[in-house]
Structure 1
């Protein structure tokens, strides 16, 4: 049995332990020993810092994670033994070794942090460095983290020229000169693994180079390789290749780690391109361009996290807590973009942006835009965020419902704007669902529709049920802003 099982008394003393626990402790007889002492007095990481006391005091199961000195991690689950005529005095504790999972989580966190630091420069550094110097610094950081964190010694990065389809070398370490300078195109045939990956957008694990017809010689004596696409918003912008002198040297974990790292590499490369593109523009325009590039992907992260939370709520509180952290981090990204974008180019180096009508009532208001059309969702970000709104989007009603429910503990959305014809809801049914989960008769909802298009009389029924406002497409910007302000005023939603 891979898991450990012990029977404890109210003093945390072991009454019985199975062979796995005895193996972990290095002691054959654990009768009477303190549970924590038997495992080397590990540190309690939570979420419950007194799981055994909690289980006995409440009569319900409790769990926690322990960290031992030998870099081992254990997950403990304590269930009270209910005896007749009194409170529980004994616990059945299951112990599972989660070292591999925890170490992988730590490595993922380190990889993500490394990715965040790839192009992390202060405004003064950016101002003083040329584009070439910024690229060289990025290449140096990529190589540093690839070797020290991922433990890959042979690295090749190529960038895709969208016009010619050619894969231009950016970085090559440990590759034969002929291989590093080889002309390759993003084509699935006759261009090696790199060309195949660039053409298909799929990662490729070559376990034995001597048996793989796609492989073209790269590093001297290489026996296996791992190649992943550099992607940005589902578009391939290049490839990242590592090789090893050992056959079958790369695992599925290596593939996962490299795919995560290369996402940050792609973002860092794109950031540098935006720096160049914005050199003659304003700092505000820089923020808008970067924000526009990541707005919908961030919304997709929010949507996926909320969907997962709906599955685990009431079943796996630890998973829900982690997903809530993901949601918080994803929402923080937008604020980070604002600050990073402002640092990219000194404001004094550029002319001031043209003035526009300010709308104080919209600043920091949370808006959820629900529409199947990507263009509409992107436009919502661009238009409303210009006036200080915090915009999130959803492509369908079900995901929007999950997002509204998740936002309620934080005060909810100030306004929800939805198309009258969603893939899974009519405007009227969507309004009724919002009213149910928000537990209020006044739903801050705006429905959008084209003139004359109202299947099922959704607008009429919604107005009769208390709909706040309707926007008829196409509408002007001032109509959108006025309507949002109107609904905020009617709903009485005041956020600080």
Structure 2
């Protein structure tokens, strides 16, 4: 039977309250040590004003301890009519019972609060027990008081009872992430959010987690226990590690001088980084799509297919320029079986701008083998492969041209050096995300320029500048700064701010028919002079640079980054509404092209 704790000094009042509460289905008790363990059957506390004043800290502590046990314990203060009540509600007490007491009103109040107590406790416990994130309570000494099923499963245990045998003071944390470091942080601040740690599972495997936790203390300030939530970020960390490996791999491809060398390196990377055994690189040669390299050496399927063949996933992607994912190849007539069993296939176009030069084809013996993260990693590898293949192809052409035009070396050499310098600056192999960012910015910048009615020749100059606008960042700024989450230091920000000038120096000697180098130099200038590197204002900034600034900001804010999720177009549009910084004609044109269905693709 549920109980009500009644803290009233007058015996007659206690008797009347006890009779009324009995009619409501509650057994009355009149004494309880407020710092003792809370009986599970206690449903409500009624306390007269004088005792509430005397024991307010103990009563509020009682409520807090009930909350720590995933319960809600309402405390109602009995106050004579006409006395102020705001004080008690502001302190954290739940309701006021006015003297003289109305039996009907008392029944309504007590019944409502006890029903709410039962409902809230049940829902809260159910929420914690069924949550996908982990929830825990542990003592400072390392004893596990509680862990929900999600956390028990994450750490590889069968039950809470089994997990509770673990002594956190001696085990459970990786050497590089000791529990003492967590304790120092949470006890110093009282609460920690987004605290990254490395835990160990039952079999000793590392689990990367993010914690939000607090220290729960008694009235003397002593820490009773820690409680918090835990989110497993191991897949994200593994994804970031693979993405970093693809970036490192891309930088090494700068040395590749033939398309065959590039293709073989890419299929090897698909095997070593992505863990895929069946990977092929195909290139478009006239009306044929030809295999350039395969991870298995001998290809399990055809090595050449007609570009316009109705069968074959590879010709379809090469012809349309659109990626194709078959989670179950048996359901698509375009799939051509090979010598190896395959149940899912992911085929990605290799593109330079809008031009398709080949495809990266990945197959797996498992159904639905390519999820969102696997696809993003494969796309990053495809971007690296496309740029490296085009670089190698151009290098081969340049080498051949140099051999054939040796007698005209003086004039031709200058042209070849310009082509090599401009192309090398555009590669972006240091950071695949930067290369993709430049392509997406170029598409948006051209759409804005066309919306503003700029002539095709000026739009083309803007397109070239947009494709090269971050070349200085790629070469001048270390990758760890480019991908660093959180606020940059003054030194790091100063290094970032050099990239427009670095880009200008790289491009100023290339004889473009447009002011490409100057547009690149100005793309971080702002109308009010707050930009960099020269603090230009208003009309001092080229129109193309003002358009590029809007496109650059919108793409950066709205798109996914390895260190943070996409913030969305609404956030981007909010930023470019700042008329002091951004050209509002360009900002309006940007919103207009999105309203008509523009996408980054």
The interval holding the TM-score normalised by the smaller chain is 0.5 to 0.7
Taking the aligned partners of 2:522 and 2:435, their CA distance within structure 1 comes to 6
Bigger-Rg structure (1/2):
2
Task: Tell me which residue corresponds to 1:180.
Answer: 302
Pair 1:57 & 2:181 matched = no
- Alignment match, 1:230: 350
- How far off is 1:64 after superposition? 1.8
- Structure with greater contact order relative to length (CA < 8 Å, sep ≥ 6): 1
Q: Following the alignment from structure 2 to structure 1, what is the Cα–Cα distance between the partners of residues 436 and 136? A: 44
1:207 and 2:336 are equivalent in the alignment: no
CA drift of 1:193 comes to 1.2
Gaps of 5+ in 2: 1-130, 403-412, 442-469, 479-496, 504-511, 551-575, 586-601
Q: Residue 301 of structure 1 is aligned with which of 437, 449, 456?
A: 437
Report the alpha carbon displacement of residue 284 of structure 1 after superposing the two structures with TM.
5.1
Displacement after TM superposition at 1:272 (Å):
1.0
1:266 deviation in Å?
A: 1.0
SS of residue paired to 2:170: helix
Per the normalisation by structure 1, the TM-score is 0.55
1:102 corresponds to: 237
Q: C-alpha root-mean-square deviation of aligned residues, in Å? A: 4.8
1:315-330 mapped onto 2 (5 Å cutoff) = none
Once the 2 structures are TM-superposed, how far is the Cα of residue 269 of structure 1 from its aligned partner?
0.7
- Mapping of 1:335-414 within 5 angstroms? 335=476, 366=500, 382-384=516-518, 391=521, 393=523, 412-414=532-534
For residue 70 of structure 1, report the CA deviation from its aligned partner. 0.9
Of 244-253 and 68-77, deviating more is 244-253
Is the Cα contact below 8 Å between 2:196 and 2:208 reproduced in 1? no
Greater CA drift, 62-71 or 14-23: 14-23
Say whether 1:17 aligns with 2:146. Answer: yes
1:140 to 247, 260, 264: 264
How far 1:18 sits from its partner (Å)? 1.7
Instruction: Give distance in 2, aligned partners of 1:176 and 1:284.
Output: 38
1:434 corresponds, among 566, 581, 588, to: 581
Q: CA 1:177/1:383 → structure 2, altered by over 3 Å: closer, same or farther? A: closer
C-alpha distance in 1, partners of 2:338/2:165? 61
User: Given the alignment of the two structures, is residue 37 of structure 1 paired with residue 180 of structure 2, yes or no?
Assistant: no
Question: 1:8, CA displacement in angstroms?
Answer: 3.9
Task: Find the counterpart in structure 1 of residue 198 from structure 2.
Answer: 66
1:15 offset after TM fit, Å?
Answer: 5.9
- Scaled by the length of structure 2, the TM-score of the pair is 0.47
Q: Name the counterpart of 1:154.
A: 278
Distance 1:240 1:51 in 2: 45
Alignment length (residue pairs): 346
- Residue matched to 1:5: 135
- Cα distance change of structure 1 residues 254 and 182 upon mapping to structure 2, 3 Å threshold: same
Aligned to 1:308: none
Q: Is the 8 A contact 1:240 1:262 kept in 2?
A: yes
Cα distance change of structure 1 residues 220 and 261 upon mapping to structure 2, 3 Å threshold: same
Unmatched segments (≥5 aa) in structure 1? 122-130, 306-328, 338-362, 370-377, 436-446, 450-496
C-alpha separation between the residues in 1 aligned to 2:435 and 2:376? 22
SS in 2 for 1:37: coil
